Amino acid sequence: MEITVTVNGAPRTADVEPRMLLVHLIRETFGLTGTHIGCDTTSCGACTVLLDGVPVKSCTLFGVQADGRSITTVEGLASGGELHPIQAAFKEHHGLQCGYCTPGMMLVGAALIERNPAPSEEEVRFAISGNICRCTGYMNIVKAIQAAAASKAGAGADEPAA
Amino acid sequence: MLPSRFEYHRAETLDEALSLLATYGEDAKVLAGGQSLIPMMKLRFAYPGHLVDVNRVPGLDGIEERDGALRIGALVRHHALETSELIRSRYPTIAAAAPQIADPLVRNLGTIGGSIAHADPAGDLASVMLALGATVVLRSSGGSRELPLREFLVDTFTTQIRPDEMLTEIVVPAAEPSSGGTYLKQERKVGDWATVGVAVALTLRDGRIARAGIGLTSVGLTNLEATEAEEALAGAEPTDEAFAEAARLAAAAAHPVSDVRGSAEYKRHVVDVYVRRGLARAREMAAA
Ligand SMILES: Cc1cc2nc3c(=O)[nH]c(=O)nc-3n(C[C@H](O)[C@H](O)[C@H](O)COP(=O)(O)OP(=O)(O)OC[C@H]3O[C@@H](n4cnc5c(N)ncnc54)[C@H](O)[C@@H]3O)c2cc1C
Ligand code: FES
Ligand code: FES
């Protein structure tokens, strides 16, 4: 089946079998291997991508379901050689160790601070509760997401009012 | 894990979805949130020949009160229930359950229609809807029918739905004054299914219980309605003693099995504790 998906802002077409999972479409057909596969059973969140801005587990969605829709993967966070505030904050606050969960954590964090510019620690922990990290103990992930929110809000304040 | 091959049909309208179901019958499955169906297909517990994707069918995602009833469209995502102002302000049993289902990412896709049609006795929303006395609307190309949820649920993963039918709406009697409710769930971790879940809904009138609803999760072949406990409460004064008796009856109606989440005896005990605790909380809300 022929589909067109907007991936990180650019339209991509592919001819796929309906049973191909979105995560395989992204990794194998589009070659974007920043989206990881952990459990393959909808439990870990390593495969998280944004579907029209909403975080979902791409191991539990068929690629054909993304036809005509827009996907953001971790590769789509940085723009023009600049790290996204969430990436800068993960780097600054040591929000990762092995990095396996990191793309998912950053995408969930980016989506959260998009709709909640100053999330509390509790709100961050609730938002990432579908994403498992086996390394960090979550402390620095939470810190990084809150710091990203603060830096994004700060950057916004510097912009001249429209 | 790769599911077996299937043909994919994307329905753009309800009529189109129903006509596809009529054409492919037993060999077709509705694809809603996919959060139960796709995992089962990956494990090859399910291998439908045709999937009818209804995610783009318009008009099935409403949450509204109309003609004395709350009507929830089958495609309402768990996240939409969790964030609905109408639900938060008037339907505390639903509001308490929604954020406890699965995890936030699964809730962005999973739907109420899928949860109820799937008929997993560990599903949270069916217990809530039993406690609230809900009915389900089933549509086919030939027409529609409405069934009380307690009749709709037949066995684990088995309902009264026909292969050519789709569940389109869940209908709940509108919230009455002086009512309250909650959902208490024991889970080992976020994203786990309930070890035990108890949904409670209570309406008081003139110092007595006008209606009590109790739904139980993960303690039987289907979500269970504790009807004997409900009947014992109807008309009684909302005392701790009446609640304790109802809890005893609900625990007796539960048929838990021992598994990794706990022994049958333990689960029965949790039912008893949660029914008492849930009723007490509902009474507080009803009196407020
Ligand atoms: C990791 C994980 C944890 C979970 N934890 C919980 C939990 O704690 N509590 C809980 O309640 N649920 C839990 N779920 C299940 C989740 O709530 C599902 O979303 C829900 O059970 C099914 O809804 P769906 O829209 O995804 O349905 P789908 O997966 O699309 O469909 C499920 C079944 O229902 C049928 N169906 C779907 N919609 C309709 C319709 N409108 N008419 C007729 N048939 C239909 C399908 O054909 C299929 O047979 C969990 C899921 C996962 C992956
Ligand atoms: S790989 Fe998708 S949730 Fe773990
Ligand atoms: S950094 Fe290793 S799993 Fe999170």
**Each residue of B210-268: pLDDT tens digit?**
999 999 999 999 999 999 999 999 999 999 999 999 999 999 999 999 999 999 999 99
Assess if residue B2 is contained within a domain.
no
Phi and psi, residue A108, nearest 5°: -65, -45
Task: Tell me, yes or no, whether A91 and A147 share the same domain.
Answer: yes
**Given this model, what pLDDT does residue B1 score?**
83
pTM of the model: 0.97
C-beta neighbour count of B39 within 10 angstroms? 19
Q: Three-state SS across B226-255?
A: CHHHHHHHCCCCCCHHHHHHHHHHHHHHCC
**Which residues of chain A make contact with B42, given a CB cutoff of 8 A?**
21, 40-41
Contact A54 B190 (CB under 8 A): no
**Given this model, what pLDDT does residue A154 score?**
85
Q: Is the ipTM beyond the 0.85 threshold?
A: yes
Assess if residue A21 is contained within a domain.
yes
Task: Tell me, yes or no, whether B197 and B264 share the same domain.
Answer: yes
**Which residues of chain A make contact with B190, given a CB cutoff of 8 A?**
129-130
Task: Tell me, yes or no, whether B136 and B102 share the same domain.
Answer: yes
C-beta neighbour count of B101 within 10 angstroms? 26
Q: How far is ligand 1, taken at its centre, from the CA of residue B116, in Å?
A: 8
Q: What is the rounded average pLDDT of the residues B111-122?
A: 98
Task: Tell me, yes or no, whether A98 and A130 share the same domain.
Answer: yes
Q: At what angle do helices A139-158 and A102-115 cross, to 10 degrees?
A: 40
Range of the domain at B46: 7-53
Contact predicate A111/A73, CB 8 Å: no
Assess if residue B1 is contained within a domain.
no
Q: Which of B172, B206, B225 is the last residue of a domain?
A: B172
CATH number of the CATH domain containing A22: 3.10.20.30
Task: Tell me, yes or no, whether A103 and A127 share the same domain.
Answer: yes
For the stretch B139-155, pLDDT in tens is 999 999 999 999 999 99
Point out the residues of chain A with pLDDT beneath 70: 156-162
Contact B4 A19 (CB under 8 A): yes
Task: Tell me, yes or no, whether B189 and B165 share the same domain.
Answer: no
For the stretch A12-23, pLDDT in tens is 999 999 999 999
Assess if residue B80 is contained within a domain.
yes
CATH number of the CATH domain containing B126: 3.30.465.10
Task: Tell me, yes or no, whether A6 and A69 share the same domain.
Answer: yes
Contact predicate A65/A53, CB 8 Å: no
Given pLDDT bands bounded at 50, 70 and 90, which one contains residue B91?
Answer: very high
**Given this model, what pLDDT does residue A157 score?**
57
Token readout for B169 is 């709406």
Instruction: Tell which of A2, A57, A67, A125 to mutate to test the B interface (max B CBs under 10 Å).
Output: A57
Token readout for B103 is 């995890």
Task: Tell me, yes or no, whether A69 and A7 share the same domain.
Answer: yes
Task: Tell me, yes or no, whether B200 and B270 share the same domain.
Answer: yes
Q: How far is ligand 1, taken at its centre, from the CA of residue A45, in Å?
A: 18
Q: How far is ligand 2, taken at its centre, from the CA of residue B76, in Å?
A: 23
**Given this model, what pLDDT does residue A89 score?**
98
Assess if residue B207 is contained within a domain.
yes
Partner residue facing B39 (CB), from A17, A42, A62: A42
The Cα–Cα gap between B245 and B229 comes to 8
Contact A61 B2 (CB under 8 A): no
Task: Tell me, yes or no, whether B148 and B234 share the same domain.
Answer: no
Given pLDDT bands bounded at 50, 70 and 90, which one contains residue B194?
Answer: very high
The set of residues, in sequence order, having a beta carbon less than 8 Å from that of A128 and lying 6+ positions away, is A45, A105, A108, A109, A138, A141, A142, A145
Q: Three-state SS across B58-122?
A: CCCCCEEEECCEEEEECCCEHHHHHHCHHHHHHCHHHHHHHHHCCCHHHHCCCEHHHHHHHCCCC
Phi and psi, residue B248, nearest 5°: -65, -45
Our CA-based measurement puts residue A161 at a distance from the nearest CA of chain B, in whole angstroms, of 30
The Cα–Cα gap between A34 and A61 comes to 17
CATH number of the CATH domain containing B31: 3.30.43.10
Assess if residue A160 is contained within a domain.
no
Is B34 an interface residue toward A (CB < 8 Å)?
A: yes
Assess if residue A162 is contained within a domain.
no
Instruction: Tell which of B103, B105, B111, B187 to mutate to test the A interface (max A CBs under 10 Å).
Output: B105
For the stretch B41-72, pLDDT in tens is 999 999 999 999 999 999 999 999 999 999 99
CATH number of the CATH domain containing B275: 3.30.390.50
Q: How far is ligand 2, taken at its centre, from the CA of residue B241, in Å?
A: 47
Task: Tell me, yes or no, whether A6 and A71 share the same domain.
Answer: yes
Range of the domain at A63: 2-76
Helix (H, G, I), strand (E, B) or coil at A130: coil
Is B42 an interface residue toward A (CB < 8 Å)?
A: yes
Domain count, chain A: 2
